[in-house]
Amino acid sequence: MSDMTIMLTTTRCLIRPFERQDIESFMIYRNDLDWMKDQSFKGLSFEEYENDLLGAQSLQHGMQLAIIDQATDELIGDVYMQQEGMTYWIGYTITPTRARQGYAFEVMSELIRHLTNQGAKEFKAGVLGTNAASIALLKKLNFTFFETELDEQIYRLDVSNI
């Protein structure tokens, strides 16, 4: 799978690489430190985000993709993926104005389906124990608790027999 061509559509969303016009919207929720209390990659400048999001990204080193509302063309969140062999680490953030509307479930379901079709055998996600909404989402996606690493709980989804 070519690293830079991941583009997926769901019922309501388009998942695609970041573009320069996305960065200001990205900064609004990423730099809302109360909303982002359970997350990393926050509180940076426009230039720092621009370098990270528009620079060379690869699945091996981690890749952040934009979640776009197809109806309004607005950035409503982002997904993170990193590949380790046949295991993919995934993460997701939805802007607070679109929280609890099923976007993360819709997007992650499609991403997991897509990567499984590409040969993924396992997915992992790290989450702080205080992030009840994210834990509930992982369970809804059939992840199960795997282990605690430092201050994060690691959840795992085995798709090797699908």
The per-residue pLDDT for range 38-96, each reduced to its tens digit, is 777 777 888 888 888 888 888 888 999 999 999 999 999 999 999 999 999 999 999 98
Residues 10-26: what's their mean pLDDT?
94
Spatial separation of the C-alpha atoms in residues 140 and 121, rounded to whole Å: 19
pTM of the model: 0.89
Count of CA atoms in the C-beta half-sphere (13 A) of 134: 23
Spatial separation of the C-alpha atoms in residues 29 and 32, rounded to whole Å: 5
Rounded to whole angstroms, what are the CA distances from 133 to 25, 38, 117, 137, 138? 22, 11, 27, 6, 9
The neighbouring-strand residues paired with 145 are 155
Q: Residue 2 pLDDT > 50, yes or no?
A: no
Residues 101-109: what's their mean pLDDT?
96
For the chain, the residue count is 162
Q: Residue 139 pLDDT > 70, yes or no?
A: yes
Tokens representing 96 are 């607070």
Tokens representing 114 are 């897509």
Q: How far is CA 130 from the centre of its chain?
A: 18
Name, of 28-32, 98-102, 128-132, 141-145, the range with top average pLDDT.
141-145
Class level of CATH domain 8-158: alpha beta
Are 103 and 77 a contacting pair, CB within 8 Å?
yes
Mean per-residue pLDDT over the chain, rounded: 90
Q: Inter-axis angle of helices 132-140 and 103-117, to 10 degrees?
A: 50
The full set of domain ranges for the chain reads: 8-158
Gyration radius (Cα) of the chain, Å: 15
Spatial separation of the C-alpha atoms in residues 155 and 44, rounded to whole Å: 28
Q: What is the pLDDT of residue 143?
A: 97
Tokens representing 61 are 């080193």
Are 93 and 39 a contacting pair, CB within 8 Å?
yes
